[in-house]
């Protein structure tokens, strides 16, 4: 987090000030060169105010700096010295209009360069499609070794500029993330590489790292030639009980292609609320076993949760209409069996056999 007090953009009064500013900062910085007040300067200052907690800004109107810059009304993004490389310019000049929103987009696009240093605190800034190389990234203790591998990744990244984003991350800081790719422990000094495409599907480079292997891997991932990696429990041998169990490997069969409306619970084994809910779901599934409704549970800690489901807490329940499987509805109702029945009765594609649309049991019309 950057400065919250003081000016959002510091004033530079000499070349020495600029040099010190650039050397001191370990992230990309943005500098405005303005001979006088202008629409561009106003937009720059507005951007600095909006991004003051994320990006460092400076500006100058001093003749020496303007003359060196060769432009008296411009905005320049400077990347930090430790990320300079021969494959891209270490500075980028803004070419757009005097608009704070456009300047923000410019900063987001260019601040990390061809291969950014992805850390826990800036992870959201790296968007899919994204290739990440994990190894012993350490710009404090081993900058030379860190850039040795980054330079090899840059050789590939330059050929995919504009098509896919690249980043390096310290394997020790992202072990939890590596676990999501089935990589429990990364041995050796060579990077291990993973990728997420624009559908958020995951891919793992199985070959040992080399420039050539990386190039093939990225091409195949983008072209759809690789099988996505799924973290999944094994498919249950017996799944005949009314309450069905979904895992990543059988999710489509149990949920998407079941030709039924579906209520699914994403749970965690350690979750107290999930344990409390379990008997109600068992009873509900029993009551729905002869309806065109499936009741399903899935351990979201042991299986990849597919898009478009978003699970941020437990339990999370979704209603999935039979004819709109890609438009799930988050269930926010009560958690008693009657609450579920009333909801399902109202939402079901076809009226239930044993309950009316209000969730009331139907009388047996065969009785005299």
Average pLDDT over residues 275-282: 98
Task: Judge whether residue 112 has pLDDT over 80.
Answer: yes
Read off the pLDDT band of 284 (50, 70, 90): very high
What confidence score (pLDDT) does residue 241 get? 97
pLDDT score of 70: 86
Least trusted range by pLDDT, from 4-8, 202-206, 234-238: 4-8
- pLDDT per residue over 35-83, tens digit each? 999 999 999 999 999 999 999 999 999 999 999 888 899 999 999 999 9
Residues of the chain within CATH 3.40.30.10 domain(s) are 9-110, 115-223, 243-347
Beta bridge partners of 55: none
pLDDT exceeds 70 at position 4? no
Per-position b or e across 281-303, b if 16+ CB within 10 A of its CB: bebbbebbeebbbbbbbbbbeeb
Q: Does 104 or 367 have the greater pLDDT score?
A: 104
pLDDT of residue 217: 98
pTM over 0.75: yes
The pLDDT of residue 274 is: 98
**Do 103 and 94 touch, CB atoms closer than 8 A?**
yes
Give per-residue pLDDT as tens, 311-360. 999 999 999 999 999 999 999 999 999 999 999 999 999 999 999 999 99
Secondary-structure class of domain 243-347 per CATH: alpha beta
Assess whether pLDDT exceeds 70 at residue 122.
yes
Q: Which of 136, 228, 130 is nearest to 174 (CA)?
A: 136
Question: What confidence tier does 143 reach under pLDDT thresholds 50, 70, 90?
Answer: very high
Report the distance separating Cα 5 and Cα 321, nearest Å: 51
- Report the alpha-carbon distance of residue 21 to residue 126 in Å, rounded: 25
CA distance 147 to 135: 11
Handedness of CA 85, 90, 95, 101 (dihedral sign): positive
DSSP 127-183: PSSEEEEEE---TTT-HHHHHHHHHHHHHHHGGGTTT-EEEEEEGGG-HHHHHTTT-
* Residue with the two structure tokens 């500098």: 31
Which residue in this structure is represented by tokens 């060579």? 190
The CATH number given to 115-223 is 3.40.30.10
Longest CA–CA span in the chain (Å) reads 102
Long-range contacts of 334-340 (CB under 8 A, 24+ apart): 335/277, 335/280, 336/280, 337/280, 337/283, 337/284, 337/287, 340/263, 340/280, 340/284
Amino acid 368: pLDDT:
37
Does position 134 have pLDDT exceeding 60, yes or no?
A: yes
pLDDT tens-digit profile of 233-267?
Answer: 999 999 999 999 999 999 999 999 999 999 999 99
CA 145 to mean position of chain CA atoms: 28
Contact 126, 118 (CB under 8 A): yes
Report the pLDDT value the prediction gives residue 367, as an integer from 0 to 100.
41
Question: Greater confidence, 143 or 6?
Answer: 143
Mean pLDDT of the chain: 95
3-state helix, strand, coil in the chain (%, to 5): 35, 20, 45
Nearest-5° angle of CA 71, CA 73, CA 76?
Answer: 75
Q: Out of 3.90.700.10, 3.40.920.10, 3.40.30.10, 1.10.579.10, which CATH number does the structure's domain 9-110 have?
A: 3.40.30.10
């Amino acid at each position: 987090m950057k400065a919250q007090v003081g000016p959002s953009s510091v004033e530079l009064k000499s070349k020495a000030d600029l040099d010190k500013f650039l050397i001191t900062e370990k992230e990309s910085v943005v500098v405005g060169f303005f001979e006088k007040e202008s629409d561009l300067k106003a937009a720059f200052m507005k951007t600095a105010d909006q991004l003051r907690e994320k990006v460092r800004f400076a500006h100058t109107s001093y003749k020496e700096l303007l003359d060196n810059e060769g432009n008296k009304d411009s905005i320049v993004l400077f990347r930090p010295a430790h990320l300079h490389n021969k494959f891209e310019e270490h500075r980028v000049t803004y070419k757009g209009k005097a608009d704070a929103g456009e300047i923000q987009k410019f900063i987001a696009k260019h601040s990390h360069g061809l291969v950014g240093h992805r850390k826990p605190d800036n992870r959201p800034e790296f968007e899919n499609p994204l290739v990440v190389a994990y190894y012993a990234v350490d710009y404090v203790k081993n900058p030379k070794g860190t850039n040795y591998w980054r330079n090899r990744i840059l050789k590939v990244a330059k050929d995919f500029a504009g098509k896919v984003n690249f980043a390096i991350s310290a394997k020790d800081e992202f072990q939890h993330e590596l676990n999501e790719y089935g990589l429990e422990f990364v041995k050796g000094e060579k990077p291990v590489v993973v990728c997420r495409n624009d559908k958020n599907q995951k891919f793992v480079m199985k070959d040992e790292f080399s420039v050539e292997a990386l190039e093939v891997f990225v091409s195949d991932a983008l072209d759809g030639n690789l099988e996505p990696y799924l973290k999944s429990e094994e498919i249950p041998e017996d799944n005949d009980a009314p309450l069905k169990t979904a895992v990543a490997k059988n999710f489509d069969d149990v949920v998407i292609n079941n030709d039924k409306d579906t209520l699914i619970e994403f749970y965690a084994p350690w979750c107290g609320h999930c344990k409390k809910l379990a008997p109600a779901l068992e009873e509900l599934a029993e009551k729905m076993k002869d309806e065109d409704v499936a009741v399903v549970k899935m351990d979201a800690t042991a299986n990849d949760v597919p898009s478009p489901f978003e699970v941020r807490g437990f339990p999370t329940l979704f209603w999935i209409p039979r004819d709109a499987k890609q438009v799930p509805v988050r269930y926010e109702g009560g958690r008693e069996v009657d609450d579920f029945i009333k909801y399902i009765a109202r939402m079901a594609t076809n009226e239930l056999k044993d309950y009316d649309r209000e969730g009331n049991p139907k009388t047996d019309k065969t009785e005299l």
